[in-house]
Every structure is written in C-alpha cells, then in structure tokens.
Amino acid sequence: MYYGNIKKSDIANGIGVRVSLFVSGCTHHCKGCFNEETWDFKYGEIFTKKTQEQIFKWLEPSYVSGLTVLGGEPMEYVNQQELLPFLKEVKRRFPDKTIWCYTGYVFEKDILERMVPKWRYTGPLLQLIDVLVDGPFIEELKDITLLFRGSSNQRLIDVPKSLAAGKTVLWEHED
C-alpha cells in the first residue's frame, strides 16, 4: 500500500486533534475531488513498518484523540489488506483513541452487502472503525458548512452502534 500524506495534527477530519493517514488508490474519481493525485495506487510513498511506528509515536500524546484514515480510498481491496493489521495494532496500543475512516462507498449497499460477504478483510476492518464517513463526494451537493464532510449525501455513521443494531445508526456529536 502507498500513502500520499500523513498529517500529524489534523482537526478537520474528525473530533479533536487527530493523526490523518491519506492512503493512495481510488477508483471512484469523483468530480471535484480535493485529492486527485491519490487516485493513483502508486502515488506517494510505500507504507512501511517505519511509517507505522512514526504514526504510533504521533498517536501517543494524551491530547491526540485518534487516527483518521482517508485518501484515496481506504476501502479499496488492496488497501484493506494493509490497513487491517495496522488498525488492529492501533486499537491494541491505543484502546481509548478513536478511528475514523472516510470512504466513497455507501455503507449498506457497497460495504455490508457486497464487500463483507466477498472480502475477508472488510468485516474485521469494520470492527475497528468508530466513525465511517460514507458516500462519494458529489460536487453539485458540496456544502462547506457540513461537519466533517464535503457534500450533503455523505453521512457520519456510528459503526459499532450500526453493527450492534443491524441497521445504520448515524453518529451524533456529543458536546
């Protein structure tokens, strides 16, 4: 897996100060994408053990709320393979920190109905994600006033509550 960027202190992609990993590779090619260079699966640098250790170091401070994975497209099959062991280790080392994931796929239709039965990584990966921002970016629905998303079709999904309920439960910001 390749990655295009890592932000050590990000406040735009989830609650609190977060470390954000922008993986490479995306087949959606959304019109108006803010990160087109990451469509290429070989863009940027190889995601190595050294890269992972650096992210773990950046996650250590108590003021860091967690990790956000975006891209590119984290839910592309090749990216899931690499992200699963990495996110398992994040949860093991930092059980109180949250993991957010941005995907252009739709939670019910693409992830639950198609990916989970077909790919062995998807189900276990979902178990590690706290909030999933789903749906493709649609330029005509762009709204800069939305919290943590770019277009009004995108949703913030509470993954643990959704999996427990057997239906999609939207994430609610607790003040």
Domain that holds residue 94: 2-165
Looking at the domain assignment, is residue 131 inside a domain? yes
The predicted pLDDT at position 47 comes to 98
The number of helix segments (H) and strand segments (E) in the chain equals: 5, 7
The predicted pLDDT at position 175 comes to 61
Give helix 49-59 / helix 77-93 axis angle, nearest 10°: 40
Full-model pTM: 0.95
Looking at the domain assignment, is residue 174 inside a domain? no
Polymer length of the chain: 175
- What is the mean pLDDT of each successive set of 10 residues along the chain, which is 175 residues long? 97 96 92 84 97 98 98 96 98 98 97 97 98 96 94 97 97 81
Name the domain count of the chain: 1
H or E element at residue 4: strand 2-10
Looking at the domain assignment, is residue 64 inside a domain? yes
- At 57, which CATH number? 3.20.20.70
